[in-house]
Every structure is written in structure tokens, then in C-alpha cells.
Chains A and B, each alone.
Chain A
């Protein structure tokens, strides 16, 4: 990795971003109403939306992190990536279609079909803001670190540049621009990964099995490289990691929001199957690249790859390009460019999701302001949110563990949003108080537990996406328990008719606005 300013990387990144700005320009001309701003008018096709969802999920954490984990710990890194393939099966089986049939802009719309609008919207706005801010902090810190390490831009400047770029997408193009940014980035990311795999097969060995054998012989673990337990000590760690990873997306507001950009349930499930296929294929390849890095880099690799292994993939890239020279620079530049585009795209989605809950759930629905103001309020909220996040990012600096923040976000999402959503969709006895207590108990447990858990001290010392998996095993049940206890304590009268309506509409799409047409 070059220590100074990496011109090739910066040029390639600018070229890639220029493409996305063209998309933003066209998106801004088509974004006039709130529905267009928040959900691209509900006119995305399932395939486009699925690619964008995969894009949301395939962050730089998965690109650099999975490869790094597989490089360092072998099988532990592989199973981590493999369990992540099941994430969108959960989303598909549990919520995708029902949410599309019930919601408009935010998932709280779905809750409000049978529960009291005010309390559930306020509570889901609180959890959404917590989740988005933590996730955003993780992205911003990662962005600063990445730009510093790979492009030679100073950390603080990197953060500010990233924030300004990301706001541009949100303010001018709304959901349509954010979605196109994700699509362009996802395609670029897949292409880069595919290219690297081809180069690995050409440069190391055409037979992947031989590459794995070479990796085993290069590893300090020896044959144990292909055994689990090199980093996840003990069965309990592996089990909680598997559960945590599998449930990591079911409550993420910026992922749930994507299901409102398609016109109906048919496109919603197409989105999910696209996301499943793309993520599955990607994760298998990225784990393989991590193993290939072990086979290729040899004894000196450990040092270049960094403590958390995050730079294993860039190191492999340089090696594939033949060490020094233009080919290496260009390949590395491609990896840098997609990593930065990824980061911007994920951040833009998060900001959009956070500002939608402020403008839609709070401003329009709780304070009963006209819906026409939603877009303006949303834009102001987006700017405020980004300023706060940049301030906090610069204050905590690049040393903060990114994985800790990201895990805090996903475990909060799985604990605060997911139980409430599922219980509202499936449990006849659910009451408004149950939703409030469930969301808050999930939120608090997810936030407080990590500061008590002994596991934290270990994982803070590594930078790879290491799971603080225990909180989720405790906080998800806490969320469900809160829903049950709150509902039983509630004096709210039963409203069977509202629940029956919700169920019928969730399964059939009755009452859904069918006038939308697909954008092509």
C-alpha cells in the first residue's frame, strides 16, 4: 500500500462517482413528490431493487472484512460469510411481502394499521434513529480510515468529503438516486470480485482445491486452518455468531425501507430472491479470495494484512497485479473505488431512512403536519443528522472499532424493531403498549449489554467484523418478552377486526395502490 497520495485510486474513484452523479441528476428531475423522494415512487422493478438490497448489504465491511477473516482464521471466516447468505431468506420468509402490502414509507406504517399510531411511531422513530446513527458512525469511521489507508487522504478530510458526497445523493435525488448508486456500486463490486477470482485462478492455480491446499500449507494453523475455533473460541461463540449474523438484517430500517420502492408483493419477493442469489454468490467468492490471499501472500502477508486482516484483500490485489507497477495500481484503485462508493451508498440509504422517520412518522403523522412538507423537513433532518454524525466521527477519530458500532446497530435493529414487527403481524393479542415496551426493552438490552459483556474487551482489540454475538442472543428474547408483557398489562380493548384486516391485507395486498407503474 502506498503511504502517500494514490493518484490512480483517486482518479478511478472519481470516474465511478461521476457515473453515479449522472444518475443522481436524472433522479432529481424525477423526484417531485414525497412518495418519489422516500420510495422512488414505488416504481422500481424487483431485479433493480434486489440488486440495490444486495448493495446495501455488501458493505466495505463484507468486502474487506470477510476476506480478512477468512485469510486470518480460515474456516471461521468462511462460516461467518456463509451464514450471512441466509439473511435475506429470513427477510423473505418473515416480512418482505407483508411489509410491502401494509406500509407506505416506513415500517411504522405497517404497525399503525392495527396499533395506535402516535406511540408506535414515536417509539419506532427512536429506535430507527439510534440504529441509523450507530451504523452511520461505523460507515463514516470506516470511510475515513479507508481513504487514509488506500488513497492517502487525511482522516478528517476523508470523513468530510464522504459526508458532502453522500448528502448530495440524498438531497437531490432522494431514494431514486440512492437506489441507482447502490445498483451501480453493486455491479461494480461484483465485477471487481469476479475479476479478482479469475486472476487468482490464472496466477495461482486453475483448480480452486489446489489453492485451498496451498493456503493450508501456508497457514500457521496447519491442518487446523480448515477447522472452526481459530477465532471463535468455544461452541457458544459460534452458535451466537450464527444466530446474530442470520438475524442481522431483519430489523434494519434502511433495508426494510427498500421494500417500499417496489409496486407490489410480486416485485418484493423478486427483490428478495435477487438479493439472496447475489449475496450468496458474492460471499462464497469473497471467502475464496481470503483463502487465496493466504495461499499467495506467504510469510510476509500477515504484516501487510494488518491486525484485523482488513487489508488482506488489497494486498492480494497488489500481488495479483504483479507487485509494483500500473497493473497493481489500477487493480487496487478499483478496489478502493468500489469500497468508497459502497460506503457512500450505504450511508445515503441510512440518512434517507433516518430522515424519513423524522419527516413521515413524527412530523406528518404524529404532529399532523401536511404531507407536502415532508420532503423539506426530510432534507433539513438529513443535513442536521449528517452534521451531528460528522462531528461525532471527528471527535472519536479513526481508532474507534468500526465493528463494535456496526454490531451495535444490527443487534439493536434485530432486538427493537424485529420482535415488534413480527408480533404485530402474527400475534392476535398484541397491543400498543406491547409494541412500546417491546421496542424499548430490546433497544435498552442491546445498548446496555455490550458494555457489561466480557466479550467486548476481546473484540475491541481486533478490527475485523467480529461479532459481539452475545447481546443478540439476550436482547432479541428481551424484545419479544417486552411485547408479551406489555400486551398483557395493557387495558386497551381487543380489536379483532383490525387484526383481521391487517392479516387479509398482508397476505393479499388488498387496498394497495395499484395505480403505480414500473419505471424502466
Chain B
């Protein structure tokens, strides 16, 4: 457990401009990402729960609406994951900016001794 008694003003750091940039960027990502996930989840659950007959129809022999929805769901989940990883690289840079705020850097040096 890192020492908390050293004088880092975490509350000030939490509202530091560099931290605010990180928080804003994360919020904008998660708003979109959660919405996309909610739509995908509700679409698959909704059809499966309330429209089993539509699920079973086959526009192409062997390929039913349910299978198409299922594959689309898997693709959505994987894309959201990949998008998160890409976006998070940007957060690493923003987080590094937060960590270079003088107060915390001094503490890190002191803590590592």
C-alpha cells in the first residue's frame, strides 16, 4: 500500500486540468460504447425473447436471422473491445500528464526510496 501520509493533495489532483481532460475523454468514450453495447444486447435479447419465429426465418438457406444477429453481436463485442484498447492508448498519455504534476512526482520519488 503506497503511503498516503505524504502531502499529495489528491482532491486538487482530481480536478487538475490534466485530470479533467482524461475524465472527459473517458466519459465521451464510455457514453458511446455503452450505448452501442446496449443496442446490440437489447436487439439480440429482444428478438430472442419476443420474436422466436422471426429468429428462425432463413433469408438464405442455412443462415437464419438469429444466426446473423448472433454473429453481429459477437462482432460488436469484439469491435468495442478493440476500440477501447485503441482509445486507451490516448488515456495513457493523458494519465502520464497527470502523473507529471509536480506534487505527485515528488511523492513518487520519495516513495521509491
Q: For the complex, would chain B's binding face be called helix, strand, loop or mixed by DSSP majority?
A: helix
A-facing mask of B26-56, CB < 8 A → 1, else 0? 1000100110010001001100111011011
Give the docked Cα–Cα distance between A92 and B71 (Å): 21
Contact between chains at A501 and B56 (CB < 8 Å): no
Residues of A within 8 A of B99 (CB): 508-510
- Least distance between A374 CB and chain B CB atoms (Å): 15
Instruction: Give the size range of A's interface with the partner.
Output: 35 or more
Does B81 contact A92, Cβ atoms closer than 8 Å? Answer: yes
Query: Do B77 and A276 touch (CB < 8 A)?
Result: yes
Residues of A within 8 A of B82 (CB): 273
| CB atoms of B41 and A246 under 8 A apart | yes
- With A227-B53, A500-B10, A507-B95 known as contacts, the answer to whether A242 contacts B41 (CB < 8 A) is yes
Which residues of chain B come closer than 8 Å to A397, judged between CB atoms? none
A212 within 8 A of partner (CB): yes
- Residues on the B chain within 8 Å of A498, using CB: 4
With known contacts A79-B70, A273-B82, A242–B4 Cβ distance under 8 A: no
With a cutoff of 8 Å between Cβ atoms, the chain B residues found around residue A83 in the complex are 44, 73
Q: Are B62 and A82 in contact (CB under 8 A)?
A: no
By the criterion CB–CB under 8 Å, are A503 and B70 in contact?
no
* A residues near B60, Cβ cutoff 8 Å: 209
The 8 A CB mask of B1-33 against A (1 = contact, 0 = none) is 110100010110110000100110010001001
Q: Which residues of A contact B23 (CB under 8 A)?
A: 507
* CB 8 Å contact bits of A485-520 with B (1 = contact, 0 = none): 000000000001110110110011111000100000
Query: Which of B41, B70, B81 has the most CB atoms of chain A within a 10 A radius of its CB?
Result: B81
Q: Is A203 an interface residue (CB 8 A)?
A: no
Residues of A within 8 A of B30 (CB): 93
A474 at the interface (CB under 8 A from B): no
Q: A242-B45, A280-B78, A501-B4 are in contact. Are A78 and B67 (CB under 8 A)?
A: yes
Q: Chain B residues with Cβ under 8 A from A508's Cβ? A: 19, 22, 95, 98-99
Interface residue? B92 (CB, 8 A): yes
B88 — which chain A residues lie within 8 A by C-beta? 97, 265-266, 269
User: A78 contacts B70, CB within 8 Å?
Assistant: yes
Interface contact A239-B45, CB-CB below 8 Å: yes
Say whether A227 contacts B78, CB under 8 Å.
no
Interface contact B74-A85, CB-CB below 8 Å: yes
Residues in B with CB closer than 8 Å to A82 are: 44, 70, 73-74
- Measured between beta carbons, the chain B residues less than 8 angstroms from A86 are 37, 41, 73, 77
Contact of B95 among A75, A223, A509, A511 (CB under 8 A): A509
With A242-B45, A507-B22, A509-B95 in contact, do A500 and B62 touch (Cβ < 8 Å)? no
B residues near A, CB below 8 A?
A: 1-2, 4, 8, 10-11, 13-14, 19, 22-23, 26, 30, 33-34, 37, 41, 44-45, 48-50, 52-53, 55-56, 58, 60-64, 66-67, 70-71, 73-74, 77-78, 80-82, 84-85, 88, 91-92, 95, 98-99, 104, 108, 111-112
- 22 A/B residue pairs, CB under 8 Å, sorted by A: A75-B66, A88-B81, A210-B61, A212-B67, A223-B56, A224-B56, A225-B56, A227-B55, A227-B56, A236-B49, A238-B48, A246-B41, A270-B85, A273-B81, A277-B81, A497-B11, A507-B26, A508-B22, A508-B95, A508-B98, A510-B99, A511-B108
